[in-house]
Amino acid sequence: MLDPFIEATVLRAMVLKKEVRPREVAEFFLERVAHLNPRLGAFITVTAERALADADRLEKISATDASKLPLFGVPYSLKDLLWTKDIRTTFGSKNFENWHAPVDAELAVRLAHSGGILLGKTTTPEFGLRPTTEGGLCPAARNPWNLEHTAGGSSGGSAAAVAGGLHPIAQGSDGGGSIRIPAACCGLVGIKPSRGRVTMAPQAGEGWGGLSTTGPIARTVRDAALMLDAMAGQVPGDPYAAWPPARPFFESASIRPKKLGLALITESSLGTVDPETLAGLDSACAIFRQLGHTVEPIAIDPGARLNKFARVIVGSSVAALDIPNPDLLDPVVRGSYDWGSRISAADYVRAIAGMHNTSREIVQALMPYDALLAPTLTQPAVRIGSMPAKLETGADEIYAWIAFTFPFNSTGQPAISMPNGFSQAGLPLAIQIIGRPGDEGGIIALAAQFEEARPWHGRRPTL
């Protein structure tokens, strides 16, 4: 019997040693999905036949070839915003319930060639527009630590699946925090890579004006780094390209940095950070200091400076979607769609320029530091159905909760959300580490050091 919460790296080693067969792995996790998905709302489409076919194909690969595949024998999922030709891609929308992409996204191809076992497509709010996974076509993604609370969004299904032990790793996407938000809600590791680190071809040149990227969600830093290695890379003609890493990201997870200079922000004018989150952040800073690093509070409010640009860019991007029937849209999405339709092209161009110029100033202000520490969210996972409380104030409510995530989509910096204890209500708390542009390796190393000092991945929800 396999451990449903087994690390991807451990499982891969077991399969390579033939201690367990790929077919056994696929069958075990498919059974887990069948049992728990109705409660968690993690998958919108389960690809059982594909998973078994993947497993059977892996069993025919030579040991030499298998050792070269980074995810050999490891089950994974794709978020249902990513194009797949032979599996429906719904975007979480009733308008696209049975839509199939003309081709597979390059990322889907890369992961298919990585030796992993695809279990299916995970739930998302419609077009990834909510920070919780509800509304639209998909069922609500529920938090394995408390099923009345959200798993976060927009990669909520990905996080619910990993936190619930349905598989070890998942692909997510992040246009304003959509990897880090669900990772924070569910007690997971989520990496938003640098802009240009992972191609969006051929689905898009850039998502949401360069705000959006894609990355891994996992239970441990080294598992997330392993998946990022399988995902990373550009294709010719991509509009952005991140600096090549000095070494594979998985190797960075084994490096323990010496003395680093860390900046710290704890406040945003967009939303108040709740006391338990602040207390957890204080405790984490004490650990970083014990590890030999300096932590210096700085007066900077990137969310306040970038908020107006992000709203215009996201609203315009939603309005640009080819929606067959707007009346079928989730009310939150419909509000953004209607508002975005009134934005002029000139306003959009001004917002892009404002975002880039302001981001440049923020990045330059942070350059003296090796990394920045911040809360991931201003409060733990909210109850399903409560975000937003009112449609007319929905945008303000959302940006108040994600005040520390969306700014770094604008700046294009890499960021990682790490588990950081529990609230009194038993919900996960989180801390965010933001790196210099292109320095995923640096924050992965620091995150792995923090994970070692504050072990988490042995904790499991009761399901």
List, for residues 44-79, the tens digit of each pLDDT value. 999 999 999 999 999 999 999 999 999 999 999 999
Q: What is the pTM of this model?
A: 0.98
Does 459 reside within a domain? Answer: no
Does 221 reside within a domain? Answer: yes
Task: Tell me the mean pLDDT in the region 20-46.
Answer: 98
pLDDT tens for residues 184-194?
A: 999 999 999 99
Q: Is the pLDDT of residue 3 over 90?
A: yes
Active site residues: 79, 154, 178
Domain count, the chain: 1
8 Å CB contact between 434 and 190? no
Does 375 reside within a domain? Answer: yes
Does 141 reside within a domain? Answer: yes
Does 420 reside within a domain? Answer: yes
Q: Considering all CA atoms of the chain, what is the largest pairwise distance in Å, rounded to the nearest integer? A: 60
Instruction: List the structure tokens of 368.
Output: 């003296």
Please provide the average confidence, as pLDDT, over all residues in the chain: 97
CATH of the domain at 395: 3.90.1300.10
Where residue 361 falls among pLDDT bands split at 50, 70, 90?
A: very high
Domain hosting residue 320, numbered range: 8-453
Does 3 reside within a domain? Answer: no
Q: Is the pLDDT of residue 432 over 90?
A: yes
Where residue 458 falls among pLDDT bands split at 50, 70, 90?
A: confident
Does 463 reside within a domain? Answer: no
Does 137 reside within a domain? Answer: yes
Cα gap 107→308, rounded to integer Å: 31
Phi (first) and psi of residue 383, to 5 degrees: -70, 145
Instruction: List the structure tokens of 307.
Output: 């908020």
Cα gap 433→416, rounded to integer Å: 5
Helix (H) or strand (E) holding 357: helix 345-366
Q: What percent of the chain has pLDDT over 90?
A: 98
Task: Tell me the mean pLDDT in the region 383-400.
Answer: 96
8 Å CB contact between 28 and 44? no
The number of angstroms, rounded, from the C-alpha of 8 to the middle of its chain's C-alpha atoms is 17
